[in-house]
A and B are shown apart, each in its own frame.
Chain A
Amino acid sequence: MRQTDRHYKFDWLTIILFFILVGFGWLNILSATYGGETIEYFNLSNLYSKQLIFIAFSFVLIVFILSINGKFYERFSSIIYLASLLLLAGLFVFGKNINGATSWYPIGSFTLQPGEFAKVATALAVAKYVSDLNTDIKKFNDQLKTFAIIAIPALLVLLQPDAGSALVYGAFFFVLYREGLPHIYLIVGALLIALSIFSLKFGITSTLLITATLVALYYFTRKKRPSILQPITVLILSTVLAFGVRFFYSKILPEHQKDRITVWLSLENDPAKLEKMKKTVAYNLNESEKAISSGGFKGKGFLEGTRTTGNFVPEQETDYIFSTVGEEWGFVGSFFTVLVFLLLIIRILILAERQKTQFSRMYGYAVGSILFLHFMINIGMVMGLIPTIGIPLPFFSYGGSGLWGFTILVFIFIKLDSNRINEW
C-alpha cells in the first residue's frame, strides 16, 4: 500500500486511521442530528449534510497541505503564529457570541473558530523556537520564552472565555518534557494536581497532615540532611496552595464550573442535594452516561438509539457525540473507537520519534499530545471520569473549524514525515 514515490513516503496507516475516524464520526453525527425523517444528504438545513460538506472541503485542505513544500511550515511558522494571534485578538472586536463565548467569526451563514487553528500555529511556533540552535530548553530564560509562546494564545482563548480549549495548551508540556524540560516541572506539576484534588476532596487539615508526614519522612530518612529551611518552605508553600485552591474553588470559580467539580468529586455531602445536582447542573453528564449504558454490549444499532432519537442528550452532535457511539454501537463500537484513537496517537508518537529534525519531531509530538488531551478530556468527561470540560472529540464532533483544524494539524505532520527522506 505504501506509495513508492522517490521523494515522498506518506504514512498510509495514519491516513487510514484518520479516515476511519472521520467516516465513523460522520455516521454518528447523522444519527445524532437525524430526526427520524428520510435522509437528505444535500439539504443544508441538516447538520449532517453540512458536516458532509466540511469533510469534502477538508479533502481540498489535505491536497493543498501535501502539495506545499515541507520546508514551508518551518520557515513560515512565525508568520503563521503571529497571524493566528491576530485572528484570536480580532475576536474581541469582530467575534460572534455563541453560548456565552466569543469564539467565532461570522462568515455568511457559517462561522469560523480561529482557536481551532491557533493550536496548529502554536505547535509550529514552539517547535520552531525550541529547535533553534540558540535555544536551550534547560535554561530558565529560554523556558520562560517558550512558555510565553504557549501562554499568549492560551490566554486569548481563556478570555473568550473558553477555559476548555485553553486547557488543551497544557499538551505542550509533554512536548517540552520530551525535549529536556527538567524533571522538577513534572514532579511539581504532578504534586500540585494531587495536592489540589486532595485538599478539595479531603479538606485542608488532612491534606496538610499527610503532606507534613511525607515531608518529615523524606527529611529524616535522608543520610545527609539538607537545611531545615527546605522542608519548611515546602510545607509553607503547600499550606498556601491548599488554602488557595479552597479559596479559588469556593470564591473565584464561576458557579457552573464549581458545580462540575462538586459533582465530579462528590463534594456535596447531602445525598438529596447531590441527586438534585445530577438532574440540574450534571444533567448532560447523567443523560450521556445513561445513553452509553443503555447501549449494552452490542448497542441498539445504527439510527436505532432511542435516547439519541429522542434528543435526550443535549449537545450530542458536538461535545457529547461519544454517547451516540455508546448507545448505538455498544461496547463493541465504543471500544473500537477508543482503540482507533489510541492507534492513531501511538502511531503519530512513533513517527515523531523517527524524525531526523528536532522541528519535525517536536511538531509530531505536539500533534500526538493535542490529540491525546482532546481524546482523554472529551471521552473521560462523557463517561463521567473527569469533570465537565467542553472540548470537542477530534474528527467526531460536529463543526467545520474543529475538523479542519485537526485535519491541518495531522496532515502537516504527515507531510513533514514524508519529507524526512530528503532530510539527509
Chain B
Amino acid sequence: MRKLLLLLLVVSVGIVFTGRLLYLQVYKGASTNLYEDNAIRKVFDYPKRGFVYDRNGKLLVSNQPSYDVMIIPNEVEPLDTLEFCNLLKIDKPTFLKKYEKAYNYSPRLPFVFVSHLSKEDYAVLQEKMRKYKGFYIQKRSLRKYETTIGANVLGDIGEVNDRNIKNDNYYISGDLIGKQGVEASYEKTLRGQKGIKFIQKDIHNRDIGPYKDGKFDTLPEAGKDIKITIDATLQAYGELLMTNKRGGIIALDPNTGEILALVSGPSYDPNILVGRDRSKNFTKLFNDSIANPTFDRSLQAQYAPGSPFKVINALIGLQEGIVNTTEQFSCKLGYYYNGRKLHGCHSHKSPVNMNIGIYESCNAYFVNVYRRIIEKYPTATEGMDTWSNHAKSFGLGNYLGYDLVVGRKGRIPDSKFYDKWYGKNRWSSTFMTSNAIGQGEVEATPIQLANMVAAIANRGYFYTPHIIKEIEGEPIDEKYTTPRYTSIDKQHFEPVIQGMFDVYNKGTAKNLQVEGIDICGKTGTAENFVKIDGVKTQLTDHSIFVAFAPKDNPKIAIAVFVENGYWGSRFAGKMASLMIEKYLRGHITRTDLETWILTHSLENEYAKPYSGQPFKINGETQLQVVPIPTNEAN
C-alpha cells in the first residue's frame, strides 16, 4: 500500500489536469477566433458609400468629407491653448474637459476631440496642425443630399445601435448604417464591404506590427451606386402640393410597379440630419408627435379607404356573377334594411346601374351588391371568405412586399375576424355592410390603394411596387418583375373602368378634368375621430382620391390622401389631377387647380384638436389662405 500512494496521486493528478485542459481548451476554447482575440487589433478601412440617382439619372445623394480633430493625450506637448481654442471655436474650460475625457478613455489611444469641423475651419486649422503635437485631423465620409426633397424616400444613415451589432456581426460600435428609406433597404448594396487589417498588439495596447504579415487582411470593396424609381421632378412637385397639408401621395407606373413619387407631408430637408446637428434635429423631428414628420404617411398611415374601395366590390360582384352591368337598384337617400336606414346617401337619380353607382358613388348600390356576394353561398362564412380572398388578391390586407423598410398590413376582414367579434356563426351579411363602401373593418395604406388602382389600370394584374430601378451590374429582384394576378377575370374590368372614367366625365370629379388626358378616378371621404380629454370627437373628414391615366395604356396610377381635407375632390382629387398632368405632360394647364391647392392650407384644421377650444368641422369650416410656398419644383 505504501508503495502505491504516490503512484496513485501521480495518476489522479494526471487525470485531473487532462480534465481541466479539456474544459479550458476544448469546451471553453472552441469559439475563439481572430475577431474575438483581444490581442489582435482590428483596423477597418471603410469604402465609399454608393450614390443614389433618380430614374432619370439625377444625382440625389452623394458623399462629403467631414473632419474630426483627434487627440492622443500621451503625445500632447505644451501648446498655445488660447490660439488652439480660437481655431476650434471652443473655450478653455471645454478644452480642458475634453482633454480629461480623452485621457480617462485612454492616454495612448486616439479619441475624437472635436467632431464635424466645417470646411472653412478645416482649411484654417490644417495649416497650423503640425504645431499641435498629439492632435491630428481625421477625415470621415458623410452623406450629402443634392436635393431638399424626398427625406422619407432617401432616408438617412446613423451610428449602429446595440441591436444592429447583435444581429449582424459585420457591424462594430461606431459604424454607420442606413436607418430609413433606401439607405436602410439597400444598406448592403450601398455600404460595400469594409476592409480589415489585423494588427498584433502587446499588453499595453501598442501596435507591434501586422499579424502574420497581413495574410488575413482584406481590401475594402466600394459600395454600389443605385438608381431609384422616383422621378425627382414629380416628387418635388408632389411635396410642393402637400405643403401645409398632412397626408401622402403615391404614384406608380402600373406597367412596372415602379414608385414614381412617394410623398409624405409634412416633410423636411434631409440635409438637417447630416453632420454636427444631426442628433439635435433628429430629436426635434422624432419628438414632434403632433405633425409627426418621421411618420411616412404614404406607407404607414392606415385608414378606412372609403369610396375608392367600392370599385373592388363592383369587380367582385361581376366575377361572382351576382350582378350584371345593367341591373338597377333603387336608392332613396340611403340603404334600408327592415325599414331601418343602414347607410345614408347623397341626392342623385334613382334607380342606379353599375356605371351610375360608381360615378355617383351610391352607397345603396354597393351595399346591395355586397350583400349578394356574401349571401350567394350557403353560409356567411363561405361568402365572407370568398369576398375577402378576392379583395386580398389586389394586394390589400397584407404587406405588399415592397423594398422599403416601413409599412402596415392594412386590413381585409374574413370569417375568422367576425367569428372572433361575434362568436362562431353568430353573424350575417347585414352585420358588416360598411365594408361595402370602404368603411367599417376595411383599412388600407395609401400605397396599397395606389397598387389597387394599378391592378385595375392593368385590367387584372400588378407588379409588386418597388423603389429600386437599377443597381450597377446587378439585376433587380425577380419578385419585382413578376406580375401578380388578381382573382378577377380581365373582361370584368372594362365596365368598372368606364365607371371610373365617368367619375371625371360627369361624376364626383367632373371639375378636375384635364384637357387631352383621359383620367379614370374615384373620390373618397373617410370619417375620422380622435380622443380629446377622453372624449371621442369627430374631426373633418379625410379627403381621398385614387386615379390612373390614360384610360387606355395607363402610365400612372396614383393614390392621394389628405388628412382632414373634407371631401375627396376638394384636396386629394385636385392634387391627383395635377400630379398626373405633371407626369404625363411635363407642365400644368390646370393652373387654377394648382393655385388653389398652393394657396390653401390645412394648418388651422390640424391645430383645432390641440387648441383646447370647441371647434367646428366639415361644412362649417373655413379654409385658410396662404401665400404660394416654394420648393425646388417652382
Listed in ascending order, the chain A residues whose CB lies under 8 Å from chain B are: 36, 174, 177-178, 180, 186, 289, 292-297, 304, 306-307, 309-312, 314, 326, 330-331, 334-335, 338-339, 342, 345-346, 349, 353, 365, 368-369, 372, 375-376, 379-380, 383-385
Contacts and interface: CB of A to CB of B under 8 A. Distances in A.
Interface in B1-40: 2-3, 5-7, 9-11, 13-14, 16-18, 20-22, 24-26, 28-30, 32, 37, 39-40
Contacts of B9: 174, 372
Given A307-B39, A312-B39, A338-B21, A295 B7 contact: no
B202 A311 contact: yes
A331 B201 contact: no
Interface residues of B, number: 34
Contacts of B5: 174, 177-178, 186
Contact of A310 (B24, B29, B203): B203
Interface stretch (B84-92, B126-134, B207-215, B227-235): B207-215
B40 A331 contact: no
A306 B209 CA distance: 12
Given A174-B9, A306-B40, A310-B39, 8 more contacts: A310-B201, A326-B24, A349-B7, A368-B6, A369-B6, A372-B13, A379-B17, A385-B17
A356 to B, nearest CB: 16
Contacts of B17: 338, 379-380, 383, 385
B599 to A, nearest CB: 67
B14 A310 contact: no
B20 A383 contact: yes
Interface in B407-437: none
Contacts of A349: 6-7, 10
Contacts of A326: 21, 24-25
A419 to B, nearest CB: 22
A297 B212 CA distance: 21
Contact of B25 (A178, A304, A330, A368): A330
Contacts, number: 111
Chain B interface mostly = helix
Contacts of B451: none
If over half of A's interface residues share one DSSP class (helix, strand or loop), that class is named, otherwise mixed; here it is helix
Nearest to A304: B212
Contacts of A297: 25-26, 29-30
Contact of B6 (A174, A311, A380): A174
Given A296-B30, A311-B203, A349-B7, A306 B37 contact: yes
A365 B95 CA distance: 71
B202 A310 contact: yes
CB-based closest 4 A-B pairs: A306-B39, A293-B29, A331-B25, A296-B29
Contact of A294 (B7, B20, B22, B32): B32
Contact of A309 (B25, B32, B208): B208
A142 B31 CA distance: 57
Contacts of A335: 18, 21
A376 B2 contact: no
A268 B267 CA distance: 59
A334 B18 CA distance: 9
A338 B28 contact: no
B200 interface: yes
Contact of A385 (B7, B20, B201): B20
B40 A353 contact: no
A314 B9 CA distance: 30
A349 B28 CA distance: 35
A331 B37 contact: no
Nearest to A308: B39
A41 to B, nearest CB: 22
25 contacts: A36-B200, A174-B6, A178-B2, A178-B3, A289-B24, A292-B24, A292-B25, A293-B25, A293-B28, A293-B32, A294-B37, A297-B26, A310-B208, A311-B202, A312-B202, A312-B203, A331-B21, A331-B25, A331-B26, A338-B18, A349-B6, A349-B10, A368-B6, A380-B13, A385-B17
